[in-house]
């Protein structure tokens, strides 16, 4: 990702990213929540997976450049790709 000040022709984008534990790995936090739900009388909870949701605003020349910057942030900073997977659920230009 760039650390340079924005250029005059840069556009602003908002990205929404969901990061979840990989399906093949145990999710101890989710397992605890599922178990606790039953103990609290919340019935029908079969399984819970807990992750994180990130909203990010970035400046880029184009939507493709913005996507590339978000991908780079996910790979280098936001997600531990050994244990987590991510999905960019939304990328839109801001006015």
Vertex 73, ends 68 and 78: CA angle to 5°?
Answer: 145
52-65 pLDDT, tens digit per residue, is: 999 999 999 999 99
Residue closest to 60 by CA, chosen among 3, 10, 8: 10
Per cent of the chain over pLDDT 90 is 88
What the chain holds in terms of domains, given with CATH numbers, is 12-40+47-93 (3.30.1280.10)
Burial of 76 (0-12, 13-18, 19+ CB in 10 A): exposed
Q: Is the pTM of this model over 0.85?
A: no
- Report pLDDT for 95: 78
d(CA 16, CA 29): 23
5-32 pLDDT, tens digit per residue, is: 556 678 999 999 999 999 999 999 999 9
* Position 1 confidence tier, pLDDT thresholds 50, 70, 90: very low
More confident residue, 71 or 3: 71
Q: How far is CA 51 from the centre of its chain?
A: 8
**DSSP for residue 5:** P
């Amino acid at each position: 990702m760039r650390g340079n000040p924005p250029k005059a022709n840069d556009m602003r984008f908002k990205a929404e990213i969901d990061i979840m534990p990989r399906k093949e790995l145990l999710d101890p936090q989710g397992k605890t929540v599922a178990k606790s739900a039953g103990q609290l009388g919340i019935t029908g909870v079969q399984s819970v997976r807990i992750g994180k949701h990130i909203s990010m605003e970035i400046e880029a020349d184009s939507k493709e450049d913005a996507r590339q910057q978000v991908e780079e942030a996910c790979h280098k900073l936001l997600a531990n790709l050994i244990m987590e997977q991510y999905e960019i659920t939304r990328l839109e230009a801001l006015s």
